Amino acid sequence: MSKTTLFSLVLFLAFARGDFHQFAWGQPYWVFDIPEMPEVITRGGEQAYRLPKTVVPIIYDIYIHLFFDENEDSPFTYDGWESIIIQATAPNVTHIILHSNVDFIKRLNLYNEQGSPVRLNPILPFQTEPSYHFLIINLLSPLIVGVNYTLHIGYSGSINEGPMKKGIWRGWYIDDEGNERIYVTTHFQPYMTRQAFPCWDEPEFKAAFRLHLSAPRSYRGTFSNTGVEYFNFIGTDRIIEHFRLTPKMSPYLVTFLVSETFQVIAENSSFTPPIRIIGRSNIAGLGDHALDLVVKMTTFYDEYFQMPYSTLHENLTNDHVISPDWESAGTENWGMVSYRELFMIIDPRETIMSTEQYSATLASHELAHIWFGNLVTCQWWNNTWMNEGFASYFGYIGANEMFPEYRLDEQFNSRYLKNTLDFDSRTWSSPLNHAVYTPEQVTNNFGTISYSKGAVFVRMTADIITQETFRKACRYFLERNKFKPADQYDLLNAFSDAITEDNSLSIYQHFNFTEYYRVWVNEPGYPILNVNVNHVTGEMALHQQRFFISANTKTTGRIYPIPITYSTARSADFENIRPIYMMSSERAVLNKTAGEEWVIFNHLQHGLYRVNYDDRTWDLIAEALRDTPIHHLNRAQIVEDVFALMRSGRMTHSKGFYILQFLQAEINYHVWYVAINGYSWLRERLGHLPESLAEFDSYILGYMQNVIEAVDFEPSTNEEPTVSLTRQEVLQFACALGHKACVEDSISRFLAMRNGTWIDPRIRKNVYMTGIRHGSTEDFDFLMNRLLNSNYANDQSEMLRGLASTTSPQLLLRYLNFTLTRDVRSHDKFNAFGYALVGDQESALTVLEFVKNNIDAIRVEYIEDAPLKPVHKALEYLAEHLNEKGLNDYENWLRTTQSKSLQYGSALSSIAMARGNLAWGTANAEDILTAARGGAVTVATSITLLIVMAFISTVV
């Protein structure tokens, strides 16, 4: 043991005996009140948030002493002491700059390799810059390049309440004896490690970490990235556990959990290390599903990457912690992955199918991060997509290999492709790789572009270069960069080498993979492919341009390399996803067999582009959709594209609704998923016109009659999961629109549930919502009590959605006030608020009154300063659902009472957008209804009856 490590341990044990808050330390020659840093940052603007690379950490040795409520003077705080071995990488370094967002720096010393003190500037030895979270250490003489120095820092901080602020935070649960239990854990991604200990808190600064955790003696449920090497007791009331050294990794991957009763609830010891599922004591016996997911996905990735988990580092554990509280769905902390309980405690008798399927992709996503994210990490968050895009791709493709019954490869389109097409059609969209500096910019980069577009780009690339070459490229990338940060060029080099070795692009003439990569990674947006078919000659003229969803936005001259696939009536091969041609120009001409027939481009919608055809080809497609076996993913693509073409002014509503006539006979999940989304967008813009909305709903319900009859109201034993998903989506939508049989069946089942009958979770969503929407105060009280006594987070979430469906203003206010209590966990509050806006516009007015009367409490309980800005989002979302009267009231309240609030500007912008939506609906209502009437001439259902039912149940 080195002198500095021994000193650290002795010093830590001194304060760990309970004296640290009064520890004298020995008064140094500077005061503890740290002055703010004068303007010494020389890098300009937002780039100043980045650390210089002149000093790098090698190994951290970190002692954290956690205080719970046993310390009355400073409850829920911690004291820390760390030793960091560092090196200078450049000459003449006289300032060591690292991150720190702790409450106090209590002592700081620097030692050379011989253990002798290195003199600091006696006038200002160290200083902080709160704006950048910088801790700056000022030296009298420069560091020697390549020599190990040891930096000692003593500090203290506060434990955040709840998961929303991340960092070190505390959660709670009630055990089987009715006792409230507090646990402390961490969520550091992407820049919150600095809140636990001063560090170089950027992904590029990889180092090894050794943790030592002290807590009250009863807190024996303690876990971290690695196993416990040894522990010892401190006095009679505390324990300290010493964890093994981690692999070299980015600081955001450090994690720990300290609790009284968290325990291993499922385990597979045939792996090295054992795979363990860890959760609170009263979910013991409910971890088998999660264990099955992790075991199978570990097996898949071990084989796929040919770099088994067991070989990555000898000290890593393979633990998976399921927490009642978690800000996101899951986080890939190396050796101790953490998940929100909502998604991982699965019971077929209590969990809806969509959650069951999502749990498989979530486990697969987080396990994929072990290789893409942990072993190899993006150098900086401008390339977040290199972590998240690959993990999202494998999350579905990998899980599909191990759980084929879910057909997750097909759900990739509705999860990632649709999100990308929607989001990336905006003028303000950004490319996969783009500059981010500030914490807010970094947080925002963990969104649709990095996760969804990143995954879509990865899948599209694999289709082009073949799965074999793609797998080889992944292995090259991981092997060459393991335990290191990497950038987009490291990835490009691995792909280029694998492509060259396999000669996998030889079938494409004049295709430049480097340019393909450059455009899709570094340019925003995606194209629309305009197809004009000469049905006499068979010549197909292709023209691409960037697609914008706004009809008022002019397109640009940007050219995207597009993978071309297509099928015709005489040559249909939809499942062949290998492109026959790479279109790298604005225009091209392809030839098919001469003669009139339908043509459909973009097999299974694997390419990231939309397609528009000439009128005659659209007519042929519309006819084919009614009686030809076109693949369901391409039918879904056509529905998706038609709604987008109508929105962007490229297709009339009359034409669009004519094409969509085939939905009357459609029963496929993927097709109806995008159709419901498209219809919902139109309905939102007609919400302020009740009669128009009621008539429009009647036509939608007429189209849905066949699929409602196909899925039925009663789930069958061993039905395919996609059938369960179809029923879930269709019945929720149909009941909301007032479908008579759907409403009556759901009410009947809700009443039966009140009398003790078990209701299949595959239909609970529509039963809960419809039962409350048409129910009484007694029904509301019943579901509220059921929620409060449930042990299943996923069922609790569906009950929240159900309670929010009430049409009673008094009950809705009760519900909204309920969201301000701790019974609705902080990570659920924004979603719970949003559920209340799914009802009619009268409900939105009730929500507005709640906001006006409770804004201060909302800011506190919804965690206003959380990185994801839930209060901003709630106030923006409210504007989207108000009518003109409500918007006027909302704007007046904002201008007269909230002009200095953080949400003022974004809320006003949302009001302006909402007014634009109302104006669009007013201007287009008659055109939409005329088109719907023309497209519904073959609907056999009684339109009169449906109009009456829809008008009674008008919702936004």
Which candidate, 601, 596, 609, 599, places its Cα nearest to that of 561? 609
DSSP single-letter state for residue 869 = -
Q: In three state form, how does the secondary structure of 148-160 look?
A: CEEEEEEEEEECE
Strands (E), 699-855: none
Which residue blocks in 45-168 are alpha helix, DSSP H?
A: none
Which candidate, 728, 726, 772, places its Cα nearest to that of 747? 772
**Residue in 202, 356, 366, 861 annotated catalytic:** 366
In which element (H, E) is residue 394 found? Answer: helix 384-402
Compute how many other C-beta atoms are within 10 angstroms of the C-beta atom of residue 627.
9
Is 204 tagged catalytic?
A: no
Q: What's the token pair of residue 955?
A: 């919702």
Cis peptide before 190 (omega within 30 of 0): yes
CA of 912: how far to CAs of 6, 906, 908, in Å? 63, 10, 6
Q: What's the token pair of residue 214?
A: 């002290």
> Using an 8 Å Cβ cutoff, are 598 and 540 in contact?
no
DSSP readout, 404-473?
GGG-HHHHHIIIIIHHHHHHTTSTT---SS----SHHHHHHTSSHIIIIIHHHHHHHHHHHH-HHHHHHH
Q: What's the token pair of residue 444?
A: 């925002």
Phi-psi region of 950 (alpha: psi -120 to 50; beta: other; left: phi over 0): alpha
Write the burial class of residue 768 (CB in 10 Å: 0-12 exposed, 13-18 middle, 19+ buried). Answer: buried
3-class DSSP state of 212: strand
Adjacent-strand bridge partners of 486: 378
**For residues 921 and 847, what is the distance between their CA atoms, to the nearest angstrom?**
22
> Using an 8 Å Cβ cutoff, are 245 and 229 in contact?
no
Q: What's the token pair of residue 316?
A: 């890593």
Q: What residues contact 629, with CB distance under 8 A and at least 6 apart?
A: none
Adjacent-strand bridge partners of 117: 111
DSSP single-letter state for residue 589 = E
**For residues 773 and 779, what is the distance between their CA atoms, to the nearest angstrom?**
10
Number of H helices and E strands in the chain, helices first, is 30, 30
Residue 278 phi/psi, 5-degree rounding, is -120, 135
Phi-psi region of 511 (alpha: psi -120 to 50; beta: other; left: phi over 0): beta
> Using an 8 Å Cβ cutoff, are 350 and 795 in contact?
yes
**For residues 62 and 210, what is the distance between their CA atoms, to the nearest angstrom?**
6
- 764-773 and 740-754 helices cross at what angle (nearest 10)? 90
**CA geometry: angle at 708 spanning 703 and 709, to 5°?**
110
DSSP readout, 21-82?
GG------SS-SSPPBPPS---S-GGGGGSPPSSEEEEEEEEEEEEE-TT-SSSTTEEEEEE
**For residues 288 and 293, what is the distance between their CA atoms, to the nearest angstrom?**
9
Q: What residues contact 646, with CB distance under 8 A and at least 6 apart?
A: 652, 653, 656
CA of 668: how far to CAs of 529, 722, 877, in Å? 26, 8, 31
**For residues 786 and 800, what is the distance between their CA atoms, to the nearest angstrom?**
11
DSSP single-letter state for residue 36 = B
3-class DSSP state of 720: coil
Q: Kindly list the catalytic residues.
A: 366
